[in-house]
Chain A
Amino acid sequence: MSNVIGNQSRELRELKTANLQPFHRKITERLYQTRFKVFKENHLIVDKSKCIQCADKPCILCCPANVYRWDGSKESGRLIVEYDGCLECGACEVVCPYSKITLTYPPAGHGVNFRYG
């Protein structure tokens, strides 16, 4: 797959590095408009025992809402899970190479409630 990226045209490479204003917005700005009814408990059950040895930590990149982030150094840091912006898509559970993430659903109508959808 890497050769595909290597083959990309100059225009595409320029686009990648281009200043993408005014459309480029932080994820927090995007999520700000989405309606959440945050529950007091985390509905994402994460067993963090494998996080340190997990090389790619795909949960961090694949989560469309930046729920996951790494705090601290590579060797001694830890995974922070900020579930309140979770869109309940399940991507984190799917990509975790150690199957250590379980998506459960917030109870009683809590969590994200799309107004458009």
Chain B
Amino acid sequence: MVSERFDAIVVGAGPAGTSAALAMARKGLNVLLIERGEYPGAKNMFGGLIYRWPLEEIVPKFWEKAPIERFVTEHRYLILSGGSGLTFSFKDLKWGTPPYNSFSVLRANFDKWYASQAEEAGVLLATSSTVTDLIWDEKQVVGVRAGERSGNEVYGDVIVAADGVNSRLGVKAGLRKVCTPQNVALGVKEIFELPSETIESRFNLQRNQGTALLALGVTRGMMGGGFIYTNRQSLSVGLVIPLDHLMKLKIEAYQLLDEFEAHPIIAPLIDGGRAKEYSAHLIPESGYYGIPQLFTDGFLLAGDAAFLCDVQYFEGTNMAMLSGLLAAETVIEAKKKGDFTTRTLSRYSERLNSSYAVKELYRRRNVPKFLGGNPRLFGTYPEVLNRAIGELLSMDGKPKETKRKAVLKDIRKRVGYLRLIRDVLGSRSMLP
């Protein structure tokens, strides 16, 4: 990378960064997109789903060209306990036909494709480049430095930092701090390769249809859950647990993943799969209250770096893309005005605050606290529920009334009615 000048420099070719770069390039801006991986997606991992919006507005009918694994037609929720499990499933076959609803993807493929769309729009993509520092002109960010040696400096009117949950640049810009165990969760994931026919018969799917499976009760009574997303010829199997909860458990996350994979209801779904990759990533989970200051002179934060992520509906990539678009709009406005200070860049915050992303996070602002402070949801309730249903469905000559009383006694003893009521009331924070 040589010393050069751009209208905008975007750091990180994930969903946020690429969206920002693409939108700016389409408006004629001269954009540099810097990615530290060998290719876009090389450093990225997530559970498995992208949603139709807002990507369809950026790349109309993207599903016809993007490397989609499967079109998700079923959302399955499992409440597991010991060797039993309660399953809820919602399936809608119209989600298997255009315009679809959500899509399972593998990030190494998807991010690469998405960045290629930006390149087609004129973005200059630099991979294998690690940005190590910001360049300042007094109070304003005016460029970035890649690598230790001087000379690897590049200048731009605005720097959009879409450098992920650990955002080194956001910290260097003084906008946010390093993550804390309370505001991030650790996700670990494995890819298991299986023939597509096997996946389709195990998950009861037609060709190209997919399932998103989420499981509670697999994190030893701590907040968290397991997931399986079906890909074309593989399964993405993983587990998410907030770091503060993991620290209390004093075991490794991959041991929890082991237990999830070995659960008698989960194991047959994965059985015979060939392990292809193990990965890990942090997830911003503090919701609305975790969103940092998003701009300073010559500098904007987007995507995971801005902590735009929802713990309840597992929205992240859509919010990342949206923030990238709004960052782009702001930079375009700033360019027109010729002002790249906070005076114009603060419009980014205004835009985000009135956007779908921040409105949703605000609406569910108390959810992270409710879920994080209530381990009963992830341990006791799944057990009590499983036991109750198991008892009522066992025809063993015992009167059902006796069983009902035993269940109520179980609830009274292990939870307490007052607490149960409080939890039910507390769950209102999760209302849509």
Q: Which residue of A94, A107, A114 is within 8 Å of B279 (Cβ)?
A: A114
Q: Are B36 and A64 in contact (CB under 8 A)?
A: no
Q: Are B41 and A114 in contact (CB under 8 A)?
A: yes
- The A interface, classified by DSSP as helix, strand, loop or mixed, is loop
Once A61-B250, A94-B181 are accepted as A-B contacts, the answer to whether A103 and B166 lie under 8 Å apart by CB is yes
* Cα A14 to Cα B383 with chains together (Å): 14
Segment among B183-191, B195-203, B286-294, B397-405 that sits at the interface with chain A: B183-191
Q: Are B221 and A5 in contact (CB under 8 A)?
A: yes
Segment among B57-65, B92-100, B254-262, B309-317 that sits at the interface with chain A: B254-262
- The B interface, classified by DSSP as helix, strand, loop or mixed, is mixed
Once A4-B376, A106-B130, A116-B191 are accepted as A-B contacts, the answer to whether A25 and B275 lie under 8 Å apart by CB is yes
> Chain A nearest CB: distance from B58 CB in Å?
20
A40 contacts the other chain (CB 8 A): no
B206 contacts the other chain (CB 8 A): no
B128 contacts the other chain (CB 8 A): yes
Mark B415-430 against chain A: 1 for CB-CB distance below 8 A, else 0: 0000000000000000
Using Cβ atoms and an 8 Å threshold, which residues of chain B touch A71? none
Q: Are A114 and B375 in contact (CB under 8 A)?
A: no
B138 contacts the other chain (CB 8 A): no
Using Cβ atoms and an 8 Å threshold, which residues of chain B touch A20? 258-259, 262
Using Cβ atoms and an 8 Å threshold, which residues of chain A touch B130? 105-108
A37 contacts the other chain (CB 8 A): yes
Q: Are A7 and B247 in contact (CB under 8 A)?
A: no
Segment among B42-50, B208-216, B350-358 that sits at the interface with chain A: B42-50
Mark A6-41 against chain B: 1 for CB-CB distance below 8 A, else 0: 011111101110101001110101110111010000
Once A11-B82, A33-B276, A95-B247 are accepted as A-B contacts, the answer to whether A105 and B38 lie under 8 Å apart by CB is no
A interface vs B, CB < 8 Å? Answer: 1, 4-5, 7-12, 14-16, 18, 20, 23-25, 27, 29-31, 33-35, 37, 56, 58, 61-62, 64-66, 87-91, 93-95, 99, 103-109, 111-117
Given A24-B258, A61-B252, A112-B43, 15 other A-B residues pairs in contact with their CB atoms under 8 A: A5-B221, A7-B380, A11-B82, A11-B84, A23-B262, A25-B258, A30-B190, A56-B250, A87-B278, A91-B186, A111-B43, A115-B277, A116-B106, A116-B107, A117-B279
Question: Can you pick out 6 interface pairs between chain A and chain B where the beta carbons lie within 8 Å of each other?
Answer: A9-B81, A23-B258, A23-B261, A94-B184, A105-B168, A117-B44
B interface vs A, CB < 8 Å? Answer: 36-39, 41-46, 81-84, 106-108, 111, 127-130, 132, 147-148, 165-166, 168, 178-181, 184, 186, 188, 190-191, 220-222, 234, 236, 243, 246-248, 250-254, 258-259, 261-263, 267, 270, 275-282, 375-376, 379-380, 383, 387, 414
